[in-house]
Amino acid sequence: MEDGRWRTISVKLSKACLIPIAGVQEKLLSHSNPDLLIDTAISHGIKGLLSEDILEQLDVLSRPVEETPQSDDIESTSIEVTELSVEEKSEEVKANIVPILDGTIQTTENDDNIGRVIAPIDPPEIKPASRPHDLPHFSIDGFSMAASDTDVELDIHFDITGKSTTEGKFADILSCFNNRLDKLKKMLVASGRLPNRPIDVIQLHRDKSRYSSNSNTATIVGLVNDVRLSGEKLRFKLEDKTGDIHCILSPPRAMDNLPSAKRRNTIAVAGLMEDDVVGITGFVLPGGGDRFIVEDIHLPPMTRHEKRVAPDNQAVSVAFLSDIHVGSNTFLHAQWEKMVKWFHEDPLAKTIKYLILSGDIVDGVGIYKDQDKELEIVDLYKQYEEMARLTEILPEWVETIILPGNHDAVRPAEPQPSLDKLIQQYFNSATFVGNPCDFSLHGVRTLAYHGVSIMDFVSSIRHVTFSEPEKAMEQMLERRHLAPSWGGKTPLSPEPEDHMVIEEIPDIFVTGHVHSHHCGDYKGTTLIQSSTWQDQTGYMRMLGFQPKPCILTVVNLHSHKTATIPFA
């Protein structure tokens, strides 16, 4: 019992900055009220080493005036307490305390009261409390305008809805790839980065003796295919409308610091994707069976971008979410209700004019094997009906813009049209667009894409991973194409014109699909990987993948300030 009582007393002593010396423990345990002695020390500002003498003096100080010892008792103490006031007694006790000095305070030779340093104390650094998911804090300063003070201003530059003309024939596929090559070749030539005027592959074959050394190089632009790594060398074919040629790209020598060597090294390390469009410069290897040695390589240009801004009188915000997966038994109901409450009450929420939902708003039916075992709502139309209800309870000033994804009731091939009119009827006030969709909000160019092709980038580019999907988005911008690879994990519709080319560099680029989250800047474009509203599924658990759910990303269209709000 005494051990337990002493632990209680020692904790209180520690909080009062009192350090008991030998013999004090026994006296405190035998005292009728040790808490009173400690409180007396605290009230008189007494700290430091606690000796038996000081303990006796604290006992005197703790007694009421009428209980003060008479003159016969005073002889046993070291101070005459009956002749001193309470304040004087306190000062007398303090004078006998050995102080604990702050090691950060510099003392001088003239200091009268120098004690030994028991433990240096650094003043604590004041930091804001951490937020869920380690998301950064934001300032409301960049979000100044109420959404209700301006009208909707949405200009759609491209949406495949109602414009798909493909019949799926070979001629459509050929037309799509030729169109891609023409668009991206024009970008490469217009950039002025190619060292020579590009020639056709057939001309290179015809004049190969002319271009058979690095003193007289040729430049060609074409589509990449048959990519493979052979040791340190990257081998691929480059094809244009006139033919193809085998190409060999080797890493540069260690001492080679030329810009062309750095570009070669970047591609050699990262790799190329099937059906990329690149410009290469080099020469035909003499006696090498028409092998083209690549000395320089260019992707379509992605230069530093200057963001467009909304006018001062339209400085509203846009928020982003994706992969809601309503109907799944892992849809996070409570967190959605929490977000709705936030939308109605928070000052930042009152600046949000638009909410972009980038696909997979429902979980769908029959998307994968045994999906019905993981569904809370097994009827597809009732899933959309519930999604409509969830958007209707948002404030009336919020305009919801909805794209489809691979779980939605549209064709799987991209670009995808908007949801069917029958489904749209469930929603009272949403705007429906295709996937991808290129549009402007108050003059700010926004490219929204669900993001299925992220899987192709992960499997093809060595530094792109699911844990950092923003790297895939960077590569899309660098290639000026959302989904280059035909026949990969992304089903593509062979439209006569390739609508997956990024013809205009966006101010905001948003994707979803992989249930992650990111908000950052890449060469002047705001990159947003929209968060999901679905918890970890059994399939994700099997893969060891942990989603980042329930994070709302907000961007102000005038200041381009960003904020990330967690609701999980």
Q: For the segment 259-296, what is each residue's pLDDT rounded down to a tens digit? A: 888 899 999 989 999 999 999 999 998 876 789 999 99
Same domain, 314 and 230: no
Residue of higher predicted confidence among 142 and 415: 415
The helix or strand, by DSSP H or E, that contains position 477, with its residue range, turns out to be helix 470-479
Which CATH number is 275's domain given?
Answer: 2.40.50.140
For 459, the 3-state DSSP assignment is helix
- Tokens describing residue 27: 């006296």
How confident is the model at residue 409, as a pLDDT? 96
177: in domain: no
* pLDDT > 80? residue 463: yes
The reply to whether 263 falls in a domain is yes
pTM above 0.85, yes or no: no
Let me know if residue 178 belongs to a domain.
no
Lowest mean pLDDT among 16-25, 158-167, 431-440, 489-498: 16-25
Cα separation of 159 and 359, whole Å?
A: 14
Q: What is the pLDDT of residues 65-116, one digit of tens each?
A: 555 444 444 444 443 444 445 455 555 555 555 444 444 444 444 545 555 5
**Strand order, beta sheet including 399-403:** 430-432, 399-403, 352-358, 317-321, 551-556, 562-566
Strand partners, 219: 281
Tokens 């996070």 sit on residue:
332
Give me the pLDDT at residue 329, please: 94
Q: What is the pLDDT of residue 424?
A: 96
359 and 217 inside one domain: no
Domain boundary among 278, 298, 318: 298
**Which range is least confidently modeled, 14-18, 148-152, 238-242, 428-432?**
14-18
Higher pLDDT, 38 or 14: 38
Residue 12 placed within a domain? yes
Cα gap 51→505, rounded to integer Å: 76
Distance (Å, rounded) from C-alpha 126 to C-alpha 123?
9
> Alpha-carbon distance 24 to 161, whole Å?
86
Q: Which residues contact 502 (CB under 8 A, 6 or more apart)?
A: 447, 476, 477, 480, 481, 482
Residue 108 inside a domain? The answer is: no
**Among 298, 320, 339, where does a domain finish?**
298
Determine the pLDDT at residue 319.
98
Residue 177 reports pLDDT greater than 90: yes
Interatomic CA distance for residues 374 and 363, integer angstroms: 10
**Assigned domain for 143 exists:** no
User: For position 495, which CATH number holds?
Assistant: 3.60.21.50
pLDDT, tens only, 432-458: 999 999 999 999 999 999 999 999 999
Q: Are residues 238 and 318 in the same domain?
A: no
Residues facing 359 on adjacent strands: none
Asked if 202 and 83 sit in the same domain, the reply is no
- Helices and strands (H and E) in the chain: how many: 15, 19
Do 439 and 414 belong together in one domain? yes
Query: Is the pLDDT reported for residue 128 higher than 90?
Result: no
Bond from prior residue into 491 cis (ω within 30 degrees of 0): no
- Using DSSP's 3-state secondary structure scheme, residue 314 falls into helix
Compare 4 and 53 and report the one with higher pLDDT.
53
Higher pLDDT, 371 or 93: 371
What stretch of H or E contains 220? strand 218-230
Which string of DSSP letters, residue by residue, matches 356-382? EEES--B--SSSSTTGGGGBS---HHH
Indicate whether 518 and 379 sit together in one domain. yes
| Phi, psi of 422, deg, nearest 5 | -60, -40
CA atoms within 13 A on the CB side of 491: 8
The number of residues making up the chain comes to 568
- Find the distance separating the first CA and the last CA of the chain, reported in whole Å: 45
In whole angstroms, give the CA distance from residue 67 to residue 72. 14
Flag whether 330 is in a domain.
yes
366 lies in the same domain as 460: yes
* pLDDT for the residue numbered 106: 47
- Closest listed residue to residue 181, CA positions, set 40, 279, 320, 309: 279
Q: For 296, phi and psi rounded to 5 degrees?
A: -150, 150
Asked which of 257, 279, 298 is the last residue of a domain, the reply is 298
Are 338 and 240 found together in one domain? no
Q: Are residues 310 and 411 in the same domain?
A: yes
**Which amino acid belongs to residue 236?**
F
Report which of 546, 38, 535 is spatially closest to residue 330, judged by C-alpha positions.
Answer: 535
Query: What percentage of the chain exceeds 90 in pLDDT?
Result: 64
Other C-beta atoms closer than 10 Å to the C-beta of 129 total 5
* pLDDT of 116: 59
**For 553, which DSSP code?**
E
Q: Of 280, 204, 283, 173, whose CA–CA distance to 236 is shortest? A: 280
Query: Is pLDDT above 50 for 8?
Result: yes
What is the 3-class SS of 27-57, one letter each residue? HHHHCCCHHHHHHHHHHCCCCEEECHHHHHH
Looking only at the bridges linking them, the beta strands covering 154-158 and 437-441 are: antiparallel
Residue pair 558/310 in contact (Cβ under 8 Å)? The answer is yes
Half-sphere exposure of 337 (CA within 13 A, CB side): 3
Which residues have CB under 8 Å from 101's CB, separation 6+? 107, 114, 115, 116, 117, 118
Cis omega (within 30 of 0) on the bond before 123?
A: no
Locus of tokens 């402007």:
440
Query: Encoding tokens for residue 377?
Result: 């709502």
What confidence score (pLDDT) does residue 2 get?
A: 64
Question: CA 356 to CA 360: how far, in whole Å?
Answer: 12
Q: Which domain holds residue 61?
A: 2-95
Q: Decide: residue 36, CB within 10 A, 0-12 exposed, 13-18 middle, 19+ buried.
A: middle
Whether 290 and 310 share a structural domain: no
Question: In terms of C-beta density within 10 A (0-12 exposed, 13-18 middle, 19 or more buried), how is residue 508 classed?
Answer: buried
Residue-level pLDDT at 63: 78
| Rounded-to-10 torsion of CA 375, 378, 380, 386 | -70
Question: Is there a contact between 362 and 325 (Cβ–Cβ < 8 Å)?
Answer: yes
CA distance 40 to 58: 7
Closest CA to 59 of 76, 336, 494: 76
For residue range 492-534, what is the model confidence (pLDDT) as tens digits? 999 999 999 999 999 999 999 999 999 999 999 999 999 999 9
Q: What is the number of structural domains in the chain? A: 3
Tokens of 277: 């469009």
Read off φ and ψ for residue 565, nearest 5 degrees: -115, 115
Residue 545 and residue 516 share a domain? yes
Return the pLDDT at 540: 82
Q: Do the Cβ atoms of 335 and 568 come closer than 8 Å?
A: yes
pLDDT number for residue 24: 80
d(CA 543, CA 541): 5
* DSSP-H helix ranges across 375-461: 380-392, 421-424, 454-460
Token pair of 189, please? 């030539």
Residue 268 and residue 317 in one domain: no
Residue 110 lies in a domain: no
Q: What tokens were used for 33? A: 């009220």
